[in-house]
Amino acid sequence: MSSTTSAGIHFPAEGDGRPTTPATRGILADSVAGVDPDLAGRIATSRDWRKDYVDHVRAVTAASATSPEAARQIAGDGLASMRERLVLVDAEGRETPLTDVDLGHPAGGAGHSTRRGWGRFTPFATESVSGTGAPVTDLTVPYEGRDLSGPTLLAQLDRWVDAGVVEPSFVDAIRDVVAHPEWLALPERQVLLIGAGSEMGPLEPLLAWGVDVLAIDLPRSRAWRYKKGLAAGLAGTLSFPVDEHGDSGADVVHQPAEVLDWVRRQRDGSPFAVGMHAYADSGVHVRVSAATDLLMDALTQDDPQTALAWLATPTDSFVVPPEVVAEAHRRWRDRGRRTRSAQAPARLLGRGRLFEPAYRGVPDDSQGVADVLIPQQGPNYAIAKRLQRWRGVTAEGGGQRVSFNVAPATWTRSVVKNPVLGAAYAGAHHFGIEIFRPETVRPLMAALLVRDLMAPAPQRAHPEELFSDAAAHGGLWRAGYEPKTALGVAAVAGLPSRLAARVRG
């Protein structure tokens, strides 16, 4: 085996490396080939993938919007292509396409289960930390120095709706949770979190509410010390794998069968939910999404009622309902005369690249595509999130309970370390966009997860409604401007504050 390749899920070897572009471009092209062959051809022959992918992902979203059947076919074909193009590398360096990797049936012992067979492994042990705190019995959300709950939280929800920061269905969902505080503890349910230490993940709120959580995260000692200390002071129980050396944590990319074996031994027969909250840079994000998809597929084969959950990034391409399009058009028309005059020269010189109206050419009574992809995040990020969305569509179409909620743009570590994105976030308020703090987002999105698991499952007219329902997009969907034509200006406007923050830091 190559000294640079460890056993696990990888892009296939090509030449002297494992390039990501052939696989990610091929996955996107394959996803739409059965619905729009011409679009698939344009994607497959793209010469500048890092630039072209933004328009291609938007076009695939538009193709998905054409009918429920198209959405489901794109999702199914995209996942199938991922399985065909990514590979599992064993300890001897042999590659097996994920199509031939079968984790769907118990291995009957300590071993990897594939159609070709795996090497054996030492099963993980289990460690648990039981909290000593009293359960938090109502939804409390930190926001701008205050803890909002009850009437104060409901009033803030209404202000966010009025500002176009969240969808009305988001408010309805949070109101449901406020009205049913008994839901918070997720009674008689087991929850597994992949990427449990995610900055926007629900670990802390769930533990505070008294939920027992199974946690998978990378074996990094400092991060696990923090999670154990967090759990000890809250009300729930945190259980996690421990390897033969006593190290906490596991890696779904390099130990998928070991993780599956551990999870299966923890299940107690209660209704089970699996949340995917892991993030990684570059192509590793695609690989961890693929590994989690394998795990979810196997757990679903064990129990078809297994619920699946993700958070959607707002910086993606989404199908939005007519009322969102109409509101964005109204905001464009209602710009003040001074604003129009100031922007006119820039629009002229920019030739369509600056201050363009949102949903141009879309009637007020038609659905549109919110094109919020940010090129700086790169195609691997976009394809990783697309794989997650495709699994959500496929799972819900198969009768599973699915929670897949758009979270607002948030000041996470991954944003702060990207200077362009950080500057754009700092200047976003000039365009009616609100950027949230992680401590505000965590309980809100955890509450949506609780609602999705406890309330009656919704009936959707179109699979893309999975993402538009209860969306908290921060204002990106309802802004009067096409987001990518205002991003550069927002970055310029926000640059001084970001520089000042770096100096203070």
pLDDT one-digit tens code per residue, 201-217: 999 999 999 999 999 99
Q: Which residues pair with 370 in a beta bridge?
A: 318
CA distance 38 to 396: 28
pLDDT at residue 405, as a whole number: 98
pLDDT at residue 421, as a whole number: 73
Q: Which residue, among 434, 490, 167, 481, has the nearest Cα to 333 in the 3D structure?
A: 481
pLDDT category at 490 given cuts 50, 70, 90 is: low
Question: What residues have CB less than 8 Å from 187, skipping those under 6 apart?
Answer: none
pLDDT at residue 411, as a whole number: 82
Q: What is the SS3 string spanning 129-198?
A: EECCCCCCCCCCEEECCEEECHHHHHHHHHHHHHCCCCCHHHHHHHHHHHHCHHHCCCCCCEEEEECCCC
What the block records as the tokens of 42 is 């344009």
What the block records as the tokens of 214 is 């199974």
Q: Which residues pair with 241 in a beta bridge?
A: 126
CB 277 within 8 A of CB 283: no
pLDDT at residue 491, as a whole number: 54
Percentage of the chain modeled with pLDDT above 70: 87
Could you report the per-residue pLDDT of 154-197, keeping only the tens digit for each? 999 999 999 999 999 999 999 999 999 999 999 999 999 999 99
Q: Is the pLDDT of residue 76 over 80?
A: yes
pLDDT category at 118 given cuts 50, 70, 90 is: very low
Question: What residues have CB less than 8 Å from 55, skipping those under 6 apart?
Answer: none
Could you report the per-residue pLDDT of 20-35, keeping only the tens digit for each? 999 999 999 999 999 9
pLDDT category at 222 given cuts 50, 70, 90 is: confident
Least trusted range by pLDDT, from 298-307, 341-350, 448-457 = 341-350
CB 252 within 8 A of CB 289: no
**CA pseudo-torsion sign 163, 490, 409, 376:** positive
CB atoms within 10 A of CB 418: 15
| φ and ψ at residue 120, rounded to 5 degrees | -90, 160
Q: Which residue, among 249, 186, 239, has the nearest Cα to 214 in the 3D structure?
A: 239
Percentage of the chain modeled with pLDDT above 90: 75
| φ and ψ at residue 306, rounded to 5 degrees | -60, 130
Mean pLDDT of 431-450: 95
Residue 301 is which amino acid?
Q
3 state DSSP class of 217: coil
Q: Is the pLDDT of residue 113 over 90?
A: no
pLDDT at residue 471, as a whole number: 98
CB 99 within 8 A of CB 73: no
Mean pLDDT of 140-145: 97
CA 183, 401, 297: angle at the middle one, nearest 5? 125
Q: Is the pLDDT of residue 2 over 50?
A: no
pLDDT category at 345 given cuts 50, 70, 90 is: low
Q: Is the pLDDT of residue 108 over 50?
A: no
CB 90 within 8 A of CB 7: yes
pLDDT category at 363 given cuts 50, 70, 90 is: very high
Least trusted range by pLDDT, from 28-42, 352-366, 410-424 = 410-424
pLDDT category at 413 given cuts 50, 70, 90 is: confident
Could you report the per-residue pLDDT of 88-102, keeping only the tens digit for each? 998 888 999 999 987
Beta pairing, strands 190-194 & 212-216: parallel
